[in-house]
Amino acid sequence: MTHKTTQMQPSLTVSSLRNSKVRRKANPENAMVHPQALAALFHEEWHLCAPSDSIHSLLSLNGTLPPETGNMISLQILDLSINRLQGKFPDTVADLVNLKTLSLFNNSFSGEFPKTFGKYSLSLNNFRIAYNSFSGELPQNLCSGFALVEFTAHFNKFTGSLPDCIRKCRELNRVWLEGNQFKGNISLTFGVHPSLDFLNLAHNQFLGTLSPKWGDCTNLTRLELTGNKISGEIPASLGNLLKLVVLNLNSNELSGKIPTEIGKLQQLEQLSLRENHLTGNVPRSIGSLSNLKDLDVSENRLTGKLPVELANCKVLSSLNLSRNGLSDKIPFELGELAELRYFLDISGNAFSGNIPESLSSLTSLQYLNLSHNNLSGNIPGSFSGMISLESVDFSYNKLNGPVPNINVFQKAPSTAFTGNVGLCGEKQGFPQCTSKNSVSHNRKILIEAIVLSFLLLLASVLGVFMFLFWHKRRKRMEEKEATLQKNREFPSYYDNFEMLLWGSAKGRFKFEDLVRATENFNDKYCIGRGGFGSVYKAVLPKDQILAVKRLNKTDSSDTQLTDLKSFDNEIAALTQIRHRNIIKLHGSCSKSGNLYLVYDYAERGSLRGAVYGKEGSLLDWGLRLKIIQGLANALSYLHHDCSPPIVHRDISMNNVLLDAEFEPRLSDFGTAKLLVSGSANWTNIAGSYGYMAPELAFTMKVTEKSDVYSFGVVALEVMIGKHPTEVLSSHFSGAISLDIQDMCLKDILDQRLPPPPPKLEAGVVGVISAALRCTCHFPESRPTMLNVAQKLSSQTQEALFSDPFESINIGMLISLGQYSNP
């Protein structure tokens, strides 16, 4: 095993850093600067610096920061972020009287921050020291000049109260102090800050009440106070924060009613009030929040009926009302929430009556929990159409009749139905349904069938002549006019969709064949919905199966002509991709204001469904290694074999599909972008939470290394059998914690499977080691995907350790160092 070594650059001096070209040569991305060389950077010649001089993010610095740093008396910007600096921050930095920006985030500094810092730096605007291990109290003179604009110190170990001067900094724009142990009265600590855009004080020990004056901070877009000890009522004045996107007050001691003024926040996407002492009703005004995606008011003391107005929140994707005292019937209008795809949890309430059949319309829903209520009657048989369900819980109700005979119900644990004495069915441990159990259910189905047949017959008789002689002719005229209009507006790639012709291994097909196969994209052919649109399964002759993604009309109908040309060019390039581990994109089409993407169909669905669903136990270690190797090969191809390189930017368990042979197919290039080498990187971040690289929170730049991080998360999740939150959280400090390092590899692997057989042990070790390297907090330390793909291929043949598999721990894998930096 060899290790790549780096030599110190003797020419690396402060003067050379003034020239950016020389700096790039002197300090390449893979260089490490020794502590002695670091001291040389801060030479006395900086006494003579021009006022505009600055130090910007010297990548790959390690060691401690020398006291000579304080010699640079003219320095205005000191940016040492995203390095490996450690130890105590020197007191001499307090002497930098002209300092305007101090940026230290993503290092390993520890100890107390200099007590006198800020006393002489009266022009300090930006103070960024997040993701370190600073402790003690912040200096009381931090913002003595009252000029502070950005104040970010999240994920440190600070204690005590915030400096009193914070209250007088009226120009504050961004405050992020999450994950410390700050205390004090929140109303006395902060004043009125008209420019404040972002405030996150989550997971501290702040006390007091929310002052009505927060309503004067009208530029706020995020207000996150989770995990404190804030009491009192939610002030109605928060309804004045018309730009607010996120309001998160979870896990506090708030009481009183949810103010109806919340309904004025038309930009709000996330409203989280979980685990407080709130009383009264769920306000009807919440139904006016047209952009709301996540509503969580669980674990409070709310009562009364659930307002039907919630059905107006058309983009709601997660709804949690559990552990309250809500009563009466479940509104059937909830079935209109077509975008509800993550959670519907109303457990632990007092809902009664039947389960509305309308809930079966939530075909994208993954988790449904109706447990611990007073619900009666049958579980609707129409729930068999909820194809995306992964987990259900109907326990402790008064339900009877048959349990639907579909996989999610049959595979659910028996505890999901405990406390319902009348349930029966084919599920193991349940009594067989008798005529007595099912007579009412069958009668109901018969009556519905008779009524439906009569209505259909009547409608057919009355409408046949109008349809044939009037509507059909009118439809032809409209389509002709629409086609002419489309020809005038869009390039030829989108003309005459009926004539678009594609080919595959099983034959040629036209877009009109897809329209016919899906009955004009009828919902019964929908196999999934997401933030960008819906996916339909189209079965063509000769057993040819395709997947058609229809992008949301709101995303595509207003697209400018120049954007369509760009979209056209990108799709044309992506259709040329040929790789066994990348889902084949046949092409795209525009019809009736919608954009459509046509892909090959993957029989076994998403990797998430395979790992967490019924096939989780079928995914043995051999298949898991095969899947990770295939994904690595796909990304290596995109990054290194495509010209220009392609950055996927949204790699997750949902975007890796499996074919019938469990071969992985990387999908969802509707959001991928071509990244031209040397050009400006993307700044429009759109990825899946839990899979995005941590630097995106600061740099907002997507690179190949962002994909590498996401790959590492997916690889860990496949091997562990759950999201690797604990491992990733420890990365925030730049190093894996000792507790994690001491964990045996065999103990973190998916416990649903037996230990890997000897012939696969080397492969398992290699994958975990590669994944840990890929999820390194520092982008420059992550390997390339070409390197990963090559190493994984070789590791299936050779062992990385001579130690027994049972004795290998995470620390050994981290220290392996088998990859060289790209």
Beta carbons of 166 and 141 less than 8 angstroms apart: no
| Amino acid found at 604 | R
Report the relative pairing of strands 54-56 and 77-79 from DSSP bridges.
parallel
Beta carbons of 600 and 505 less than 8 angstroms apart: no
C-alpha span between 199 and 203 (Å, rounded): 13
- Please report how many Cα atoms fall inside a 13 Å half-sphere around the Cα of residue 263, on the Cβ side: 14
Known active-site residue 568: no
C-alpha span between 134 and 734 (Å, rounded): 14
C-alpha span between 646 and 107 (Å, rounded): 30
Select from 722, 740, 728 the least CA-distant residue to 774: 728
- Any residues with CB less than 8 A from the CB of 162 and at least 6 apart, and which? 138, 177, 182, 184, 189
Select from 612, 189, 646 the least CA-distant residue to 411: 612
Q: Is the dihedral angle over the CA atoms 567, 568, 572, 575 positive or is it negative?
A: positive
Beta carbons of 258 and 235 less than 8 angstroms apart: no
- Any residues with CB less than 8 A from the CB of 740 and at least 6 apart, and which? 726, 727, 730, 810
Q: Strands, E, within 542-697: which ranges?
A: 544-551, 585-591, 594-600, 646-647, 656-658, 664-666, 673-674
Catalytic residue among 79, 513, 650, 707: 650
- Any residues with CB less than 8 A from the CB of 13 and at least 6 apart, and which? 40, 41, 43
Q: Is the dihedral angle over the CA atoms 679, 684, 690, 695 positive or is it negative?
A: positive
Read off the tokens for 813: 């894998």
- Any residues with CB less than 8 A from the CB of 817 and at least 6 apart, and which? 1, 3
C-alpha span between 497 and 658 (Å, rounded): 30
Read off the tokens for 784: 């390339």
C-alpha span between 274 and 297 (Å, rounded): 5
Beta carbons of 60 and 27 less than 8 angstroms apart: yes
- Any residues with CB less than 8 A from the CB of 735 and at least 6 apart, and which? 108
Cα–Cα distances in Å, from 20 out to 27, 28, 200? Answer: 10, 12, 35
- Any residues with CB less than 8 A from the CB of 514 and at least 6 apart, and which? 538, 540, 546, 548, 596, 598
Read off the tokens for 261: 């003024």
C-alpha span between 364 and 341 (Å, rounded): 5
Q: Is the peptide bond before 783 cis (omega within 30 degrees of 0)?
A: no
- Count of CB atoms situated within 10 Å of the CB of 798: 8
- Any residues with CB less than 8 A from the CB of 459 and at least 6 apart, and which? none
Query: At which residue do the structure tokens 């290394």 appear?
Result: 705
Point out which residues pair with 354 in neighbouring strands: 376
Point out which residues pair with 673 in neighbouring strands: 647
Query: Would the annotation count 549 as a binding residue?
Result: yes
Read off the tokens for 460: 């057919």
The CA-based dihedral angle spanning residues 32, 38, 43, 48, taken in that order and rounded to the nearest 10 degrees = 60
Cα–Cα distances in Å, from 374 out to 321, 326, 356, 565? Answer: 15, 11, 14, 56
C-alpha span between 497 and 506 (Å, rounded): 21
Select from 438, 760, 443, 793 the least CA-distant residue to 630: 793
C-alpha span between 549 and 529 (Å, rounded): 9
> Which residues belong to the annotated binding site for ATP?
549
Catalytic residues: 650
